[in-house]
């Protein structure tokens, strides 16, 4: 993993140098814009990382495995889908968090359910969605997305078992 990161950093530096050679003005503008975007998301990123770290500190691996491990069965999928459905976590936080959970023993299938529900289901945003599309449409879309997240997890489990 560390070597991959070093490779990505080296590739990024090389491509930035090539871009700088071809168009200094655009490259510098892009670098400034990237730094500004990073500075804007940094407070959110740090606060979520701190909260996730605190939660993972207090929630033992035993509890994680009890609710999301292989022995939890269908309840692991439903729990992951429910947590994903009510969470509002940006992808740049959810994916590293998922990596941490996988390293603690949570299966890829359960993580797939969590990520899918996180991105497709929006329990907390139903009022806003209902305002534009109607309550019936918002509820049906969210229910179908919830079921879809469970199906994605089931397919991931099936595919993972075959490999």
Instruction: Please indicate, yes or no, whether residues 51 and 23 belong to a single structural domain of this protein.
Output: yes
Instruction: Please indicate, yes or no, whether residues 34 and 70 belong to a single structural domain of this protein.
Output: no
CA separation for the pair 47, 45 (Å, rounded): 6
Instruction: Please indicate, yes or no, whether residues 99 and 20 belong to a single structural domain of this protein.
Output: no
Residue 82's nearest CA partner among 158, 156, 157, 149 is 149
How high is the pLDDT of residue 60?
A: 80
Instruction: Please indicate, yes or no, whether residues 46 and 115 belong to a single structural domain of this protein.
Output: no
- For 73: left if phi > 0, alpha if psi spans -120 to 50, otherwise beta; the answer is left
Instruction: Please indicate, yes or no, whether residues 147 and 88 belong to a single structural domain of this protein.
Output: yes
Q: Which of 20, 41, 58 is the last residue of a domain?
A: 58
* Higher-pLDDT residue of 112, 47: 112
Band (pLDDT 50/70/90 cuts) for residue 62 is: confident
Report the chain's terminal Cα–Cα distance, integer Å. 22
Instruction: Please indicate, yes or no, whether residues 88 and 157 belong to a single structural domain of this protein.
Output: yes
Instruction: Please indicate, yes or no, whether residues 83 and 160 belong to a single structural domain of this protein.
Output: yes
Q: Does the reported pTM lie above 0.85? A: no
Residue 152's nearest CA partner among 80, 68, 67, 90 is 80
Question: Is the per-residue pLDDT at 2 higher than 80?
Answer: no
Q: Which of 42, 58, 74 is the last residue of a domain?
A: 58
CA separation for the pair 19, 76 (Å, rounded): 47
Band (pLDDT 50/70/90 cuts) for residue 70 is: confident
Instruction: Please indicate, yes or no, whether residues 29 and 84 belong to a single structural domain of this protein.
Output: no
Instruction: Please indicate, yes or no, whether residues 5 and 67 belong to a single structural domain of this protein.
Output: no
Instruction: Please indicate, yes or no, whether residues 52 and 69 belong to a single structural domain of this protein.
Output: no
Domain extent for 112: 60-163
Instruction: Please indicate, yes or no, whether residues 107 and 42 belong to a single structural domain of this protein.
Output: no
Query: Comparing 56-60, 136-140, 151-155, which segment has the lowest mean pLDDT?
Result: 56-60
CB 81 within 8 A of CB 119: no
Domain count of the fold of the chain? 2
Instruction: Please indicate, yes or no, whether residues 71 and 110 belong to a single structural domain of this protein.
Output: yes
């Amino acid at each position: 993993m560390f070597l991959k990161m070093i490779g990505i950093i080296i590739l990024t530096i090389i491509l930035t140098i090539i871009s700088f050679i071809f168009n200094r003005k655009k490259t510098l503008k892009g670098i400034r814009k990237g730094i500004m975007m990073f500075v804007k998301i940094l407070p959110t990123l740090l606060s979520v990382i701190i909260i996730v770290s605190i939660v993972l500190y207090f929630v033992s691996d035993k509890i994680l495995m009890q609710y999301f491990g292989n022995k939890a069965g269908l309840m692991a999928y439903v729990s992951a889908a429910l947590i994903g459905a009510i969470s509002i976590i940006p992808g740049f936080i959810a994916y590293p968090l998922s990596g941490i959970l996988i390293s603690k023993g949570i299966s890829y299938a359960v993580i797939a359910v969590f990520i899918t529900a996180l991105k497709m289901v929006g329990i907390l945003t139903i009022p806003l969605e209902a305002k534009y599309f109607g309550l019936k449409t918002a509820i049906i879309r969210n229910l179908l997305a919830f079921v879809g997240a469970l199906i994605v997890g089931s397919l991931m489990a099936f595919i993972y078992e075959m490999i």
